[in-house]
Amino acid sequence: MMPAAGWEAFAATTARALDAASGHEPAVAVWDGARLVGARAAVLDLAAYEIWDPRPYLSGLASFHDGPPWSLVADRLAGMLLRAHEAAGTDDGILGSGTMARAFAARLRSKQFPVCIVGFGPGTTPSGDDWIAGYLSAADMAGGAPGQVLPEFRDAVRPALDRTTAAGHSLLLGALAGAPPVYLVRLAGAVASLAQALIAGSEQAISGAESELAAAIETALHHGATSGEDALSGFVAGLRGWHL
């Protein structure tokens, strides 16, 4: 299920994708609160289903009594991600050392960031979009207010959504609203569990939380060609301070 946030924009994006695929007259898709009503009387009725919205769950992940050790968790997550990338035996993507990685790193330092990474890279959801989704997911979790933290960052991305693919557009709409994909929600839960275990100081709890995080990373890395890896990279950056 798609998240409750952003249905009308999702419908419009879907319609544009149908236009591009069919080459026919403009498709029309309207969300009326219970149904997605398309052209030629096509109706997707969702009234009987619960709309998935992860924001209440995400907002409760960072309720720590002591300051959460986000940078320490970020270091562990980054190490696990780098080892997984090296084990894959490829130098491609934004974690590699090739042209793609160098171009992406330059954009992260650009005065045009974050707009310059919207739609950047190949793929159904471009690498830049995946990175942003991970970045915002980490910030939302750490800030405890999905869809509300980093308002200037979000305000910069919204007008640039037409720079990317239909799938990237939909991904970013969810991330901007504080409703990222399921695999990133699972990652956020595992990251919060590790932070809590580190505060508690129990070796058994830390070991269990690290196993949970490793499983969440493995799931993420199987998401798309490089989407999971790109999103994880953004998540690490988000944990390390919400800005670069």
pLDDT tens for the chain, 244 residues: list them.
445 555 556 566 555 554 544 455 555 567 676 777 776 667 777 677 777 789 999 988 877 656 778 889 999 999 999 998 888 777 778 888 889 999 999 999 999 999 999 999 988 999 999 999 999 999 999 888 999 999 999 999 999 999 999 999 999 999 999 999 999 999 999 999 999 999 988 999 999 999 999 999 999 999 888 899 999 999 999 998 744 4
Q: Do residues 106 and 23 both lie within one domain?
A: no
107 and 159: one domain?
Answer: yes
165 and 61 part of one domain? yes
Q: Do 175 and 188 share a domain, yes or no?
A: yes
Residues 45 and 118 placed together within one structural domain of the fold: no
Provide the domain limits for residue 74.
54-239
Q: Give the position of tokens 């830049």.
A: 128
Pair 35, 88 in one domain? no
The amino acid at 22:
S
Whether 212 contacts 193, CB under 8 Å = yes
Do residue 213 and residue 93 come from a single domain?
Answer: yes
Q: Is 20 part of a structural domain of the chain?
A: yes
- Residue 204 CA, chain-centre distance (Å), reads 30
Report which of 218, 179, 209 is spatially closest to residue 72, judged by C-alpha positions: 209
**Residues 173, 65 share a domain:** yes
Give a yes or no: residue 19 inside a domain: yes
133 and 95 in one domain? yes
Does residue 244 fall inside a structural domain?
A: no
Predicted local distance difference test score (pLDDT) of residue 113: 96
The pLDDT score that the predictor gives to residue 168 is 96
A 10 A CB-CB count for 50 gives 8
Q: Is 6 a domain residue?
A: yes
Strands 30-31 and 35-37: antiparallel
Q: Are residues 75 and 150 in the same domain?
A: yes
The tokens for 172 are 């970013």
Whether the CB-CB separation of 84 and 91 falls below 8 Å is answered with: no
Residue 28 and residue 149 in one domain? no
For the chain, the domain total comes to: 2
pLDDT number for residue 28:
59
Last residue of a domain, one of 34, 52, 70: 52
pLDDT confidence of residue 43: 75
pLDDT of residue 62: 75
pTM (whole model) above 0.75: yes
Q: Tokens in use for 171?
A: 């991904």
Do 99 and 134 reside in the same domain of the chain?
yes
